[in-house]
Structure 1
């Protein structure tokens, strides 16, 4: 079980903060969990909607980049987008840290009604919750 985990995506607006909230709820209290993006992004209100449905929140989270993290050592970096995965591998070349890639769809590409768009965000939430439960909270492997 890793003691510190960083979730990374493109802009720290949807996937990584959602994963951070889900992991904080699922993992033991002593586990340090954070999230960051490769680029600056804007907070996405649909994240609040789908997390609220399962009793979670990202609180006052504002998207931030790797450079803005308070701590820069993690046992595991979980990347959720190709751009983040490449950046994490580049940054950790000389470090003893595991970098794993969990391909996660970008729900902002969803079109249609509000319900259809929220459905895409729910699918991402449920995808991440399943991976966290099976690979981090369970006894399975992180990768």
Structure 2
């Protein structure tokens, strides 16, 4: 993929495909409807996280229907860009894409499900991840440029 070019197909990956990668996929689909093919996967299959669903609903993005997938569930690795959000997902993505012409980027992203505290403290951690992912996705995928086309 040429430097600065918007990818046509993006995979977001994390550990369990239950918090970070579904949030990122939901954000990307919302920002680039019909312009970018977006999927998400995990190293292992988790279950949909209710806090992730809640904070995404706050910004008008519905991920309730998300069903966690693993890398092995994907039909192929024909993505232009794989964004990994956890170290183990990064290692797995590099292993699986070694024979493909695909860019793999690591965006270190804290797992908000590891947050302890009150409900509000936990939600604040999830909101922080959501907002950081939104910013990174807009920057990397050229959201501002997409608004003028």
Superposition TM-score tier, normalisation by shorter sequence: over 0.9
RMSD, aligned α-carbons: 1.5
TM-score, normalised via structure 1 length: 0.93
Name the counterpart of 2:24: 19
- Counterpart contact for 2:43–2:92, Cα < 8 Å: yes
* Structure 2 alignment gaps of length 5 or more: 1-5
Moved more, 49-58 or 28-37: 28-37
TM-score, normalised via structure 2 length: 0.89
- Counterpart contact for 1:26–1:137, Cα < 8 Å: no
CA distance in 1, matches of 2:92, 2:76: 17
**Per-residue deviation at 1:69?**
2.0
Runs of 4+ in structure 1 over 3 Å off = none
Name the counterpart of 1:2: 7
Aligned residue pairs total 140
**Per-residue deviation at 1:64?**
1.2
* Structure 1 alignment gaps of length 5 or more: none
**Per-residue deviation at 1:71?**
4.4
Residues 95-135 of structure 1: CA distance to partner in whole angstroms, max 9, x if unpaired?
10000011101101111100000100000000100001111
